[in-house]
């Protein structure tokens, strides 16, 4: 959550963002502003357009109309790799974790990627030592100190998610896009991952798609509700959750928790 007195600066803005799929409009004229240092959640019933909107932000999809402005620059026509280089990092669903490498090696690779030294294997050993120390410190931050040597594939599901958070943070994102961080989890993992996100992302800017409304109410500073590709409501959780139009849109939606 944002700290009191933190600057209120728009880091990401979409203007009239629209995506048509062969005549079907999945995202329609979306004007969204995300303030730096806040957690902004995107919610909405099935098929509301949340994933499509996310894919537009990360450039997996090209918009049919509209623009995306990141940190004052129009990035609408930039390639996904260029966006990542500017610090827009997506986590979850498209996992950045290598299953057969240990947790520590996974984090180390992310740190190396950040430093841009992936191919500089001739670097002195002390650089690698330094990376190892940083990797262990990051693992500690996400509660995985005891899993440092465990291959990702052998880790329980909730721990794997924690590792994904560590590899994302290793890239020092300026804007983190979290794609359903608690999807497929049991209640105890949901609580742990929610706590973890709240702790480690403090002060960072997050846009999060999340179905679990408890998670959203705990973490998000601001919520945008999408319905049929359009913004239906926006505001803090208490306000949005009492909005009759939002309640109506959610009625009968089977996956609302």
38/52 with CB nearer ligand ATP: 52
Q: How far is the CB of 86 from ligand ATP (least distance, A)?
A: 24
Helices (H), 117-156: 125-141
Instruction: Strand 175-179: give its sheet, edge to edge.
Output: 88-91, 175-179, 205-209, 39-43, 222-227, 230-235
C-alpha 56/C-alpha 67 separation (Å) is 10
Nearest one of 33, 26, 94, 86 to 62, comparing CA atoms: 26
Q: Which of residues 13-42 bind ligand ATP (CB under 6 A)?
A: 21, 24, 26
Does 60 engage in binding with ligand ATP (CB under 6 A)? no
Nearest one of 179, 203, 180 to 35, comparing CA atoms: 203
Does 51 engage in binding with ligand ATP (CB under 6 A)? yes
Q: Are strands 39-43 and 205-209 parallel, antiparallel or unpaired?
A: parallel
Does 44 engage in binding with ligand ATP (CB under 6 A)? yes
Q: How far is the CB of 24 from ligand ATP (least distance, A)?
A: 6
Does 47 engage in binding with ligand ATP (CB under 6 A)? yes
Q: Is there a contact between 58 and 52 (Cβ–Cβ < 8 Å)?
A: no
Dihedral sign of CA atoms 10, 15, 20, 23 in order: positive
36/42 with CB nearer ligand ATP: 42
6/46 with CB nearer ligand ATP: 46
167/227 with CB nearer ligand ATP: 227
Using CB under 6 A, pick the residue from 6, 8, 31, 46 that binds ligand ATP: 46
Two tokens, residue 254:
């089977």
Does 173 engage in binding with ligand ATP (CB under 6 A)? no
Using CB under 6 A, pick the residue from 14, 38, 52, 205 that binds ligand ATP: 52
61/148 with CB nearer ligand ATP: 61
Q: How far is the CB of 78 from ligand ATP (least distance, A)?
A: 21
Q: What is the DSSP letter of 195?
A: H
Half-sphere exposure of 252 toward its Cβ, with a 13 Å CA cutoff? Answer: 2
Q: How far is the CB of 179 from ligand ATP (least distance, A)?
A: 9
DSSP 81-127: HHHHHTTEEEESSS----TTSBHHHHHHHHHHHHHT-TT-TTS-HHH
Q: Which stretch binds ligand ATP (CB under 6 A): 48-56, 64-72, 104-112, 113-121?
A: 48-56
Q: How many residues bind ligand ATP (CB under 6 A)?
A: 11
Interface contacts to ligand ATP, rule CB under 6 A? 21, 24, 26, 44, 46-52
């Amino acid at each position: 959550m944002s700290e009191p007195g933190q600057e209120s600066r728009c880091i990401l803005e979409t203007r009239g963002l629209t995506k048509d799929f062969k005549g079907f409009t999945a995202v329609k004229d979306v004007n969204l502003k995300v303030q730096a240092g806040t957690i902004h959640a995107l919610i909405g019933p099935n098929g509301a357009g949340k994933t499509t909107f996310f894919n537009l932000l990360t450039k997996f999809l090209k918009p049919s109309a509209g623009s995306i402005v990141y940190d004052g620059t129009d990035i609408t026509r930039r390639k996904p790799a260029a966006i990542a280089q500017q610090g827009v990092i997506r986590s979850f669903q498209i996992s950045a974790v290598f299953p057969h490498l240990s947790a520590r090696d996974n984090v180390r690779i992310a740190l190396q990627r950040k430093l841009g030294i992936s191919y500089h294997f001739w670097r002195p050993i002390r650089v690698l030592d330094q990376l190892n120390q940083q990797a262990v410190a990051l693992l500690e931050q996400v509660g995985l100190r005891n899993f440092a040597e465990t291959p990702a594939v052998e880790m329980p599901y909730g721990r794997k998610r924690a590792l994904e958070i560590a590899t994302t943070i290793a890239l020092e994102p300026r804007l983190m896009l979290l794609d359903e961080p608690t999807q497929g989890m049991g209640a105890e993992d949901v609580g742990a991952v929610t706590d973890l996100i709240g702790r480690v992302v403090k002060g960072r800017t997050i846009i999060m798609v999340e179905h679990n409304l408890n998670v959203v109410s705990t973490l998000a500073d601001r919520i945008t509700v999408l319905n049929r590709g359009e913004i239906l409501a926006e505001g803090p959780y208490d306000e949005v959750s009492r909005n009759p139009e939002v309640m109506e849109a959610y009625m009968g939606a089977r996956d609302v928790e």
